[in-house]
Amino acid sequence: MNETVVTLKKGEGRSLKAGGLWIFDNEIDTIKGTFQNGSLVEVQDFDGYGMGRGFINQNSKIRIRMMTRNPKQPIDDVFLQKRVQAAWDYRKDTVDTSSCRVIFGEADFLPGLVIDKYEDVLVVQSLALGMERFKETIVGLLKEALLADGIPIRGVYERSDAKERDKEGIPRVKGFIGADFDTNVAIVENGVRYMVDVANGQKTGFFLDQKYNRLAIQKLCKGKRVLDCFTHMGTFALNAGIAGAREVTGLDISEFAVQQATDNARRNGLQDTVRFRCVNVLEELPRLAAMGEQYDVVILDPPAFTKSRQATKNAVKGYREINRKGLQLVRDGGYLATCSCSHFMTQELFAKTIQEAAKSVHKRLRQVEFRTQAPDHPILWAAEESYYLKFYVFQVVSAYI
């Protein structure tokens, strides 16, 4: 197999050797051979030991994304079919597959590729140049694997319109892969009905990673007054409503999201108990506190406050402030559910930040549980970037009792 050979510097490739899939630009010593960005290369350690094959892109700081640890492994349809089948088999073992993430990039050893399944529709997101050449082949193989289990796919939509594409030097794209179809997809999750707009919703249309965290808050909400902040499509609010909450308020700054959430409440017959308002959450929480409002359950599900290591310090301030404001609205003995979806906000740092927020408003926290992303977003321990979602549930009591 004659191809470009990339040799690492002595002492580099520590993440790769631990089981990760990324090689950064500053870890490379030499590149021998001719190649185009996106093509496959063989990777060797400084002493010539073969470390596998991956695709290279000189536009990206993540210079190589590994496809296999076998330096002689052909990356062909047989290889890809095994990867796809393994990903689908894992989901069948671990989650409700009616709607789920079927392929989660590096954690499924298909770097840079995400495929979500919403009932009989697939949504594809390709975030790496090298994956572009395999994308449609993988989609075809996945459709075959699903059909073998009696699941015909009626349409595939691509949402490769994320900013990460800019770092790879490739344009953002969005549209149908194959024939056009109705991109509004009805799904049911945890007994809640939603209409997912895969063409216009955030990311691939819906946040599947919180599936079982939403289910976990149901047991806290029966007969309760609930506030759901950054509600997006109303997901936590509707789980509270379906569990029998007596009153639920969802807040979000997006009018589009609030309209979707309101429609979903009506879809579930919850329009009388679950209501949504379009507001700036950071401004609304102090206003509610000044009015003396108190809730049995407060849910904080903000967008990521940082997407880079350099911005983590400011993110800590943001998470501390939002948790401080949320805690002031929890009645004594009530519950706070709070989360961070930033990879750079580690579990330890997030816990420390919540503790600081609680101390500043004279609250004590009793941890009910700690959770993370749903199993269809598996955490590959050697790939830190695959672990991003931290979700805490606390009982909140006064510091003075």
Q: Which residues are catalytic?
A: 341
E-state strands within 230-304: 247-252, 274-278, 295-300
Q: Is the separation of the CB atoms in 354 and 383 below 8 Å?
A: no
**Helix or strand or coil: residue 346?**
coil
Residue whose C-alpha is closest to residue 105's, from 372, 379, 391, 345: 379
Those residues with Cβ within 8 angstroms of residue 320's Cβ, 6 or more apart along the chain or in another chain: 353, 356, 357, 360
Give the span between the Cα atoms of 398 and 401, in whole angstroms.
Answer: 6
Q: Beta partners for 43?
A: 6, 52
Instruction: Decide if 258 contacts 278 (C-beta within 8 A).
Output: yes
- CB-neighbour burial class of residue 55 (10 A; exposed 0-12, middle 13-18, buried 19+): buried
Using DSSP's 3-state secondary structure scheme, residue 223 falls into coil
What is the residue whose two structure tokens read 């959770």?
371
Q: Using CA atoms, how far apart are residues 29 and 264, in angstroms rounded to an integer?
A: 54
C-beta separation of 336 from 393 below 8 A: yes
